[in-house]
Amino acid sequence: MEKKAVVFLADGFEEIEGLTTVDFLRRAGVDLITVSIMDSTEIMGSHGIPIEADMMMNELKYDDVDMFILPGGGVGTENLEQSDKLRDILIKANKAEKFISAICAAPRVIGKLGFLNGKKATCYPGNEKFLEGAEYHPEEKAVTDGRFVTSRGMGASIEFAAANCAQLLGQEKADEILAQIQY
């Protein structure tokens, strides 16, 4: 059964964090869809790189999604936090015990929702105060605890993508893709 994942894109998202994950999971055979949380499918990355999302948030059926992924970036994370619809989707995904992952500043989105309470987690330094009840691991590039993957930032994008792949398809598949990209 093919696994399905969604990367939510907002203006100001960190391009490497979002697109490394998209590339890695598509290489692994995951049905990966980029979804705009903005008013258009054209998203402007934090470094002025325009990206065309696959669809708008209201177009996707979320029931069959296995993993929900949040790239960081300061402004991108602020935009993620301001979306009531995204918050509702994440709450439903958590109740349905789906995989949820976030990198850089974005772990604060799920931290504020209480999802990381009692979990090991990491994030971009300075955002750890929002990881409510989490056990913070600043030295780790990517942390997996149960259904959650968190990561420090752009420099850990490959580790983050590999951890997401391992969650969905197993460590052997993640290692296979890492070997393909000469990591």
Can you list the domains of the chain with their CATH numbers? 4-175 (3.40.50.880)
Cβ neighbour number for residue 21 with a 10 Å cutoff? 31
CA nearest 5: which of 63, 56, 68, 62? Answer: 68
What is the distance between the alpha carbons of residues 126 and 27, in angstroms, rounded to a whole number? 33
What is the distance between the alpha carbons of residues 139 and 42, in angstroms, rounded to a whole number? 35
Across the strands, what pairs with 52? 42
Confidence band, pLDDT 50/70/90 cuts, at residue 14: very high
Confidence band, pLDDT 50/70/90 cuts, at residue 183: confident
The tokens describing 33, both together, are 């869809």
Cβ neighbour number for residue 173 with a 10 Å cutoff? 17
Structure confidence at residue 1 (pLDDT): 78
Residue-wise pLDDT tens digits, 38-54: 999 999 999 999 999 99
Its pTM stands at 0.97
Mean pLDDT score, 119-127: 97
Residue-wise pLDDT tens digits, 140-182: 999 999 999 999 999 999 999 999 999 999 999 999 999 999 9
Mean pLDDT score, 53-66: 95
Strands (E), the chain: 4-9, 31-36, 42-44, 50-52, 55-56, 67-70, 99-103, 120-121, 135-136, 142-145, 148-151
